[in-house]
């Protein structure tokens, strides 16, 4: 008897494939949902059943609570795993799943709502003794009150919309002169994006690092942390490279940070897997940023060093089982890095670059894991997140993990869709990265301008011409490859068109 009769995965792309994999391993039958744009996607193929839930537009498919629930009812699913993004942090969705008599694999609706409000969560954390930045999180939002509070906090400071995320509406204000304009702009953007223009003020920290604590809570009183991750390599508030452990922390700091993460989860009344994000200042102090009430994109680095399957733990907790793991059972070994492969063009201001995958080769080897939603022939559309796949490298130490990552990136091939692969290579090869000198402005400081792409070297041009069949005669050169339809086709004849 499996843990659940059937699990519906309310997501797409690499995370849907990843969740389906653990369900399969656990013997749980699965249901995928898909939009019209994803009819032939990999996550559809890897599920036992698949249900069409609407057009490409996410609002009418992956973001539609009604359609996802209808698919769950229609297939007799017992539980719903939301992945990340889409409906994963929607309190309304979590409640609707429960009201339908199904199990939501994640915390209940009120926890999502509590932690989704920056002002309320900041107040909650401060009351629980979790460090927060000097700031203002009150309900009174009159301009004069905010200006008075801003003076108290001091310059430079940050204005953040109380709702939402992803950097939308955030403003750095260097001095009082720019405050009113920045406040107006921030409110305007917040109102447009989140339908609410309340803001929080916080002291601005120069060259901060982003660190976060993975927690797991069973709702029965046991809360453990699975260590921290550092995610300082970002582009426009979007994480690009993550790792664990953080090279910035000594054992005492790490322990203090992870204890704060557990305290935050307890204060939130947390259940299931969650992540508490902190800002780490150059002076070594850390402050609560926000809590992500879902599985995190970068969870594989934690899995790699802790030897755990977080999705399995999520499913067990959701099924009502107590955590079998005590804090002292969590043993972390070695170092892990993750690089996010995005369909974005670093040569052109990181514009998303849709297209069809013409050719694909993913790396493998000791310590290498690839979480991917890609196939040859897959259409990368503009409708969804540009994340294509995640390359994870584990090593006995940070140095070995970096070496393995470099080789893995050299062995990663995606043709037909422009990706950020060249930037990922530049990051992991940069001396400052190797030295562990990270901060959230790393890419802007070191790599905002990638050197223009040169032309291929002469050997490559010669090999291309040979492969395309412009040599005079003969079969393949060098040793024969294993017999398959391709070797009989012959290297020279490839591309011989007319």
Partner 1 sequence: MRLRCGDEVFEVQVREAGGAVEARVAGRGLRLTLEPWGPGAFVVRTGERAVPLHLARDGRVIHLSWDGVVYALEEEREGARAATRHDPGALEAPMPGRVAAVRVAPGQRVAKGEELLVVEAMKMENALRAPRDGVVRAVHVAAGDMVAPGRALVEVD
Binding site for partner 1 (CB under 8 A): 40, 45, 356, 358-361, 375-378, 409-416, 418-419, 421-422, 425, 453, 455-468, 470-474, 476-481, 485-487, 489-498
Pick 59 or 459: Cβ nearer partner 1: 459
Pick 172 or 460: Cβ nearer partner 1: 460
The SS3 assignment for 52 reads strand
Look at the block and give the residue holding tokens 């992500």.
292
Phi and psi torsions of 107, nearest 5°: -75, 160
Q: How far is the CB of 358 from partner 1 (least distance, A)?
A: 4
Q: How far is the CB of 22 from partner 1 (least distance, A)?
A: 23
Task: State how far the Cα of 352 lies from the Cα of 345, in Å rounded to an integer.
Answer: 7
Pick 361 or 448: Cβ nearer partner 1: 361
Task: State how far the Cα of 468 lies from the Cα of 314, in Å rounded to an integer.
Answer: 50
Contacts of 157 (CB under 8 A, 6+ apart): 135, 150, 172, 173, 201, 202, 203, 204
Task: State how far the Cα of 478 lies from the Cα of 466, in Å rounded to an integer.
Answer: 12
Q: How far is the CB of 377 from partner 1 (least distance, A)?
A: 4
Pick 174 or 456: Cβ nearer partner 1: 456
Q: How far is the CB of 378 from partner 1 (least distance, A)?
A: 8
CA 144-149-150 angle, to 5 degrees, is 95
Q: How far is the CB of 461 from partner 1 (least distance, A)?
A: 5
Contacts of 87 (CB under 8 A, 6+ apart): 10, 62, 63, 65, 68, 93
Using CB atoms within 10 Å of the CB of residue 194, give its burial: 0 to 12 exposed, 13 to 18 middle, 19+ buried.
middle
Q: How far is the CB of 415 from partner 1 (least distance, A)?
A: 4
Task: Bin 83: left if φ > 0, else alpha if -120 < ψ < 50, else beta.
Answer: left
Task: State how far the Cα of 291 lies from the Cα of 60, in Å rounded to an integer.
Answer: 27
Q: How far is the CB of 468 from partner 1 (least distance, A)?
A: 7
Distances (CA, A) of 370 to 362, 365, 409, 424: 7, 10, 11, 15
Q: How far is the CB of 414 from partner 1 (least distance, A)?
A: 8
């Amino acid at each position: 008897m499996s843990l659940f009769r059937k699990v519906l995965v309310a997501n797409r792309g690499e995370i849907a494939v990843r969740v389906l994999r653990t369900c399969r391993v656990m013997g749980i039958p699965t249901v995928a949902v898909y939009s019209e744009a994803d009819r032939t996607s990999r996550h559809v193929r890897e599920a036992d059943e698949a249900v069409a839930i609407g057009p490409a537009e996410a609002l009418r498919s992956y973001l539609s609570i009604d359609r996802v629930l209808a698919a769950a009812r229609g297939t007799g699913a017992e539980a719903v795993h939301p992945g990340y993004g889409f409906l994963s942090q929607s309190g309304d969705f979590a409640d609707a799943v429960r009201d339908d008599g199904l199990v939501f694999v994640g915390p209940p609706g009120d926890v999502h709502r509590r932690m989704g409000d920056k002002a309320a969560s900041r107040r909650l954390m401060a009351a629980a003794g979790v460090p927060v930045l000097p700031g203002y999180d009150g309900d009174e939002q009159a301009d004069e009150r905010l200006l008075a509070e801003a003076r108290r906090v001091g310059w430079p400071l940050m204005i953040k919309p109380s709702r939402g995320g992803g950097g939308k509406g955030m403003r750095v204000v260097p001095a009082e002169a720019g405050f009113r304009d920045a406040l107006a702009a921030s409110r305007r953007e917040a109102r447009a994006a989140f339908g609410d223009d309340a803001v929080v003020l916080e002291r601005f920290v120069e060259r901060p690092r982003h660190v976060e604590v993975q927690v797991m809570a069973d709702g029965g009183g046991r809360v453990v942390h699975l260590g921290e991750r550092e995610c300082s390599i970002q582009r426009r508030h979007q994480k690009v490279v993550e790792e664990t452990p953080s090279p910035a922390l000594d054992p005492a700091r790490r322990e203090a940070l992870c204890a704060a993460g557990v305290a935050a989860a307890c204060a939130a009344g947390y259940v299931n897997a969650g992540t508490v994000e902190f800002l780490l200042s150059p002076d070594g102090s850390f402050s609560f940023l926000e809590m992500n009430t879902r599985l995190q994109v970068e969870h594989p680095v934690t899995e790699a060093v802790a030897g755990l399957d977080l999705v399995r733990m999520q499913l067990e907790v959701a099924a009502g089982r107590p955590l079998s793991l005590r804090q002292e059972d969590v043993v972390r070994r070695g170092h892990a890095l993750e690089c996010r492969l995005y369909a974005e063009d670093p040569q052109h201001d990181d514009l998303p670059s849709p297209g069809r995958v013409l050719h694909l080769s993913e790396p493998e080897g000791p310590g290498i894991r690839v979480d991917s939603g890609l196939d040859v022939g897959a259409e990368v559309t503009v409708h969804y997140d540009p994340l294509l796949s995640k390359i994870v490298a584990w090593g006995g130490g940070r140095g070995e993990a970096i070496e393995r990552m470099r080789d893995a990136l050299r062995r990663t091939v995606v043709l037909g869709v422009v990706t950020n692969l060249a930037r990922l290579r530049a990051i992991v090869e940069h001396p400052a990265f190797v030295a562990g000198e990270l901060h959230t402005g790393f890419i802007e400081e070191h790599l905002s301008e990638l050197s223009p792409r040169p032309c291929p070297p002469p050997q490559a041009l010669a090999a291309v011409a040979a492969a395309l069949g412009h040599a005079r005669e003969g079969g393949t050169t060098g040793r024969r490859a294993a017999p398959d339809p391709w070797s009989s086709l012959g290297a020279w004849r490839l591309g011989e068109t007319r």
